[in-house]
Copies of this chain bind each other. A is one copy, B any other.
Amino acid sequence: MIGPLAGREKAIVLLSGGMDSATVLYVAHSRGFDVHALSFDYGQHARVELEKAARLAAALGVRHQILRLGLDAVGGTALVGDRTVPVAGKAETRFGIPETYVPARNTVFLAVAMGLAETVGAHTIFIGANDMDYSGYPDCRPEFIAAFNNLSAVATAEAVSGGRRIVVEAPLMKLTKSEIIDLGTKLGVDFSLTMSCYAPKADGASCGLCESCVLRLSGFKKAGLKDPVPYA
């Protein structure tokens, strides 16, 4: 048996190292949660984002864990393996979804986060999912988050024994990229520590051409700010 909760309420934050999850990290921290940041090494091309995630967590002084997941063996996406990351607007689609979609990625990430939350006694998971600027990824929509919360209500030991459930929050869901940049700036996010590019160069510079770079650059422009990261 475990004793009563000691100290602050805990939260897991899914931290990719991109600008959205960096902002969510600061949202959770500013709300007073004892934050446990979680990143995944799943064979993505943009591995430099894991270093960014580590530096972001260090900047806030929160715990950070990187888990290895063999999703590269699953395949089905242009973000891992041998395939080439498409330039913005040129992605091939399958069922109308761009090939940069990683099958079931957010389901897997939230599932592992739920396990970690059970283990450490957290009841909140933060994710940077965003429905506004994105490309129709099925697992970045409010319906998906709602369905995951219905699952978590019957999936954890504490919830099914009449105790607290684990709830996923997606505070950026209805914000545009420029609104996310405004929010992050207000909360003190150092965007120079973030990386959004799907296909960064060897020196860490962003390509400026992939869909993620184009969205990011457009967001900074609309926010009236200069993106501090280097572009090739």
Q: Is the interface of A mostly helix, strand, loop or mixed?
A: helix
Residues of B within 8 A of A65 (CB): 73
Residue from B107, B116, B161 in contact with A155 in the complex, judged by beta carbons closer than 8 Å: B107
B154–A74 contact, CB under 8 A?
no
Please report A residues at the B interface, Cβ cutoff 8 Å: 1-2, 65, 67-71, 73-76, 92-97, 101-108, 110-112, 114-116, 118-120, 136, 138-139, 141, 143-144, 147-148, 150-151, 153-161, 163
B159–A138 contact, CB under 8 A?
yes
Residues of B within 8 A of A93 (CB): 1
Contacts A95-B161, A104-B155, A144-B154 known; list 19 others, CB within 8 Å.
A1-B94, A65-B73, A67-B70, A68-B70, A69-B70, A74-B112, A74-B115, A95-B160, A104-B112, A104-B118, A107-B155, A108-B115, A111-B111, A138-B154, A138-B160, A141-B154, A144-B151, A144-B155, A147-B153
Report the minimal beta-carbon distance from A96 to chain B, rounded to whole angstroms.
5
Number of copies of this kind of chain in the complex: 2
Report the minimal beta-carbon distance from A90 to chain B, rounded to whole angstroms.
15
Residues of B within 8 A of A116 (CB): 74, 76, 103
Residues of B within 8 A of A96 (CB): 157, 161
- 6 A-B pairs with least C-beta separation: A76-B119, A104-B115, A103-B118, A103-B115, A97-B157, A107-B111
A231 to B181, CA, bound (A): 61
Query: Nearest chain-B residue to A166 (Cβ)?
Result: B104
Chain B CB within 10 Å, residue with most, of A2, A71, A101, A163 = A71
B71–A112 contact, CB under 8 A?
yes
A151–B151 contact, CB under 8 A?
yes
